[in-house]
């Protein structure tokens, strides 16, 4: 039975209950469940729907159609769905192998006559509960390209043919929004652990434990239109504060107040612009104290004041963990503010610590009050919200239970709620333009000021190649604030010429990332300073720009100065991300959707509309091919003008990667 109610289409057949409704311009939300009603909205990534006054519903034989701008949903009398443009061009079709052929002259039903008896939506019950394992299947579109979905450590920009785990890990972010070259965007609006497979024969989305199917789909004429519709639906980043536009200095790890201030003073003495400097982890007496160890950080307020006088902001690392020696542990256990396990002890699940349960609003308030008292009130207004997946000793998703449900059902919302904890606390203090650094994200994290970095990657050119694709797909997935550990995190020996070359190339790439941040756990490691608190943990080798060779120093210095000259341009890109959800770094097809070659290029990108960047991704490479889309382009290396629509061979001396600028743009900068 199909019926209309309040501008929505419903389908009911025994335990199959389906709803299709307009959700903003050119977009639809689709839900289904075997249960009596749909679930509460607190797990949804969607903001309240914007009005869709032009949406209409009509019946065509056994098929009902809901039309909303540039998209239509054709719902057949057997419950299967096809998504179309108003002219009948197919966008996406459910994969069904048990339906009848369409009647001549009628809108065709999904699927075709088959003895396979494969349904497009399958709910497998977890007996004794109202949760299910869900699989939803769609037909593939021939020649389709798929982008977005977050951050995965793999060398693929086009995700067609890929199978992706819908789960977070250190350096992996599941942000399940896919942009298709067929002209639609698709959000899997479900935080359950699962999988997405964009295979040649079918596309399959799965959730291991859920009460309902929930997805959102929109149509658009260009990737930019689709991206803006998506951003309007799930939220946009705040405006990046001015101190986010330049260079950030970081390492694992500054061990004392004197050491950190000494580095800041040296940048100031050398006249090198520095926006942010960072205190990394284990600066606390015990994990979960959420405060600086006074033995090594005796005057936080004075430290912040001196840094601010030099024009530098301080960022401090926070972990979402609490060990049993912390001053906060007993109260957090008593109040139920820690993640539980289904088997064995509550902890330890990470080192010696338990994980705080940020899906619990009481926990978010408890931790924020300590962050406020011990950091924020000293003038520390940027937090590094590390371990945001959260990171467990083992990613046994079946073993963890949150306030809001099991990890299998709700686990992917964790980093969003972690960002929300700090954002809402800072906003309540009257702070605007909030930015915090996180190692993970889910849909909606961006509206809580999440600057996501690509995690603890290894120091290799292979890893650099992966980060390029990861950053581009994060932008398409709606997370425009993205960065990396310049040089990678693990395995970089400061004495190794191979690593030194990698660091130079990564630094040059980092200059053209949304945020330019140097970090890493450099070798050889420095021993711990003591046996208690933060002093019991070691530190990596020096990682300031003068810590390497004189040639490297000059390259680093020149790129920091270049970033400063780019500051007005970067500010304009941040404004576009804030206002329209526009990715700051994006694939060529974003600005050149009518160029078939632009959809194939995966080793270069646009940094805003006017700068084309071709990173050096292989060791010893001193030139490379660069595809230039239509238009006239100027080489930043020698100023020569080059016509687009062709591939050119560009020189890449160690001191500069190939960068091309639209003619007439940024002439005093590049």
Structure tokens at 34: 């075997």
Cα distance between residue 234 and residue 240, in whole Å: 18
DSSP assignment letter at 128:
T
Handedness of CA 29, 150, 340, 342 (dihedral sign): positive
Catalytic site residue from 158, 456, 485, 508: 456
Q: Quick one: which of 354, 303, 364, 296 has its CA closest to 325?
A: 354
Handedness of CA 429, 433, 437, 438 (dihedral sign): positive
Query: At CA 355, angle to CA 349 and CA 361, rounded to 5?
Result: 155
Unique residue bearing structure tokens 């809580």: 448
Catalytic-residue membership of 389: yes
- For residue 411, whether the previous peptide bond is cis, meaning omega lies within 30 degrees of 0, is no
- Contacts of residue 87, Cβ cutoff 8 Å, sequence gap at least 6: none
Catalytic-residue membership of 623: no
Burial class for 597, CB neighbours closer than 10 Å (0-12, 13-18, 19+): middle
Q: Quick one: which of 529, 463, 527, 459 has its CA closest to 494?
A: 459
Q: Quick one: which of 238, 205, 223, 233 has its CA closest to 148?
A: 223
Cα distance between residue 267 and residue 604, in whole Å: 32
Catalytic site residue from 94, 389, 409, 485: 389
Helix 414-428 vs helix 361-374: crossing angle, to nearest 10: 50
Structure tokens at 556: 């680093």
Q: How far apart are the first and last CA of the chain?
A: 63
Catalytic site residue from 386, 391, 508, 591: 386
Catalytic-residue membership of 357: no
State the alpha helices, DSSP H only, in 451-537: 461-476, 497-510
Q: Which residues of 206-233 are buried (b: 16+ CB within 10 A; e: fewer)?
A: bbbbbbbbbbbbbbbeebbbbbbbbbbb
Q: Label each residue of 404-455 as H, E or C.
A: CEEHHHHHHHHHHHHHHHHHHHHHHCCCCCCCEEECCCCCCHHHHCEEEECC
DSSP string, 63-98: EEEEEETTEEEEE-TTS-EEEE-TTS-EEEEB--SS
Q: Work out the number of other CB atoms within 10 angstroms of the CB of residue 489.
A: 23
- The set of catalytic residues is 386, 389, 456
């Amino acid at each position: 039975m199909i019926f209309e109610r309040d501008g929505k289409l419903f389908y009911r057949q025994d335990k199959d209950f389906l709803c299709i409704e307009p959700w903003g311009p050119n977009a639809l939300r689709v839900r289904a469940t075997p249960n009596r009603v749909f679930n509460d909205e607190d797990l949804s990534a969607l903001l309240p729907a914007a009005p869709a006054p032009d949406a209409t519903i009509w019946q065509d034989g056994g098929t009902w159609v809901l039309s909303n701008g540039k998209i239509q949903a054709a719902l057949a009398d057997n419950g299967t769905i096809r998504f179309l443009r108003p002219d009948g061009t197919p966008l996406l079709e459910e994969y069904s192998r048990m339906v009848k052929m369409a009647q001549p002259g009628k809108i065709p039903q999904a699927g075709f006559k088959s003895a396979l008896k494969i349904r497009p939506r399958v709910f497998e019950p977890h007996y004794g509960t109202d949760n299910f394992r869900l699989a939803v299947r769609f037909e593939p579109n021939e020649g389709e390209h798929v982008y977005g979905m977050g951050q995965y450590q793999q060398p693929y920009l086009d995700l067609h043919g890929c199978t992706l785990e819908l789960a977070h890990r250190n350096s992996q972010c599941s942000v399940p929004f896919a942009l298709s070259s067929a002209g639609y965007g698709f959000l899997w609006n479900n935080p359950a652990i699962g999988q997405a497979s964009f295979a040649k024969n079918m596309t399959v989305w799965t959730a291991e434990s859920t009460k309902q199917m929930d997805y959102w789909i929109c149509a658009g004429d260009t990737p930019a239109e689709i991206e803006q519709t998506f951003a309007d639906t799930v939220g946009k980043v705040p405006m990046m504060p001015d101190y986010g536009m330049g260079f950030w200095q970081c390492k694992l790890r500054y061990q004392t107040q004197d050491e950190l201030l000494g580095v800041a003073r040296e940048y100031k003495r050398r006249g090198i612009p520095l926006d942010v400097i960072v205190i990394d982890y284990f600066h606390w007496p015990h994990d979960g104290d959420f405060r600086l160890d006074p033995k090594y950080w005796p005057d936080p307020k004075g430290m912040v004041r001196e840094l601010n006088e030099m024009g530098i902001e301080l960022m401090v690392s926070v972990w979402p963990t609490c060990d049993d020696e912390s001053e906060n542990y007993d109260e957090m256990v008593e109040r139920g503010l820690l993640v539980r396990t289904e088997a064995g002890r509550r902890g330890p699940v990470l080192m010696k610590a338990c994980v705080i349960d940020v899906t619990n609003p009481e926990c978010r308030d408890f931790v924020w009050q300590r962050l406020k008292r011990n950091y924020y009130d000293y003038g520390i207004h940027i937090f590094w919200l590390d371990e945001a997946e959260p990171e467990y000793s083992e990613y046994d998703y079946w073993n963890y239970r949150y306030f809001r449900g099991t990890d299998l059902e709700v686990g992917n919302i964790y980093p969003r709620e972690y960002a929300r904890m700090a954002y809402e606390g800072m906003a309540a203090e009257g702070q605007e333009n909030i930015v915090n650094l996180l190692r993970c994200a889910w849909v909606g994290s961006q509206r809580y000021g999440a600057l996501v970095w690509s995690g603890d990657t290894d120091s290799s050119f292979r890893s650099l190649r992966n980060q390029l694709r990861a950053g581009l797909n994060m932008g398409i997935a709606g997370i425009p604030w993205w960065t990396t550990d310049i040089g990678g995190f693990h395995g970089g020996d400061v004495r190794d010429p191979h690593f030194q070359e990698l660091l130079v190339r990564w630094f040059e790439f980092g200059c053209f990332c949304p945020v330019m941040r140097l970090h890493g756990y450099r070798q050889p490691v420095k021993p711990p300073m003591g046996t208690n608190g933060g002093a019991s943990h070691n530190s990596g080798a020096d990682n300031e720009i003068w810590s390497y060779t004189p040639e490297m120093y000059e390259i680093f210095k020149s790129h920091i100065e270049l970033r400063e000259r780019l500051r007005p341009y970067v500010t304009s890109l941040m404004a576009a991300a804030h206002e329209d959800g526009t990715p700051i770094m994006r694939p060529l097809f974003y600005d050149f959707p009518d160029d078939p070659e632009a959809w194939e290029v995966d080793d270069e990108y646009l940094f805003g509309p006017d700068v084309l960047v071709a990173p050096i991704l292989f060791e010893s490479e001193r030139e490379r091919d660069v595809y230039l889309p239509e238009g006239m382009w100027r080489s930043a290396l020698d100023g020569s003008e080059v016509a687009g629509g062709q591939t050119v061979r560009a020189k890449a001396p160690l001191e500069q990667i190939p960068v091309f600028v639209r003619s007439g743009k940024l002439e005093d900068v590049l």
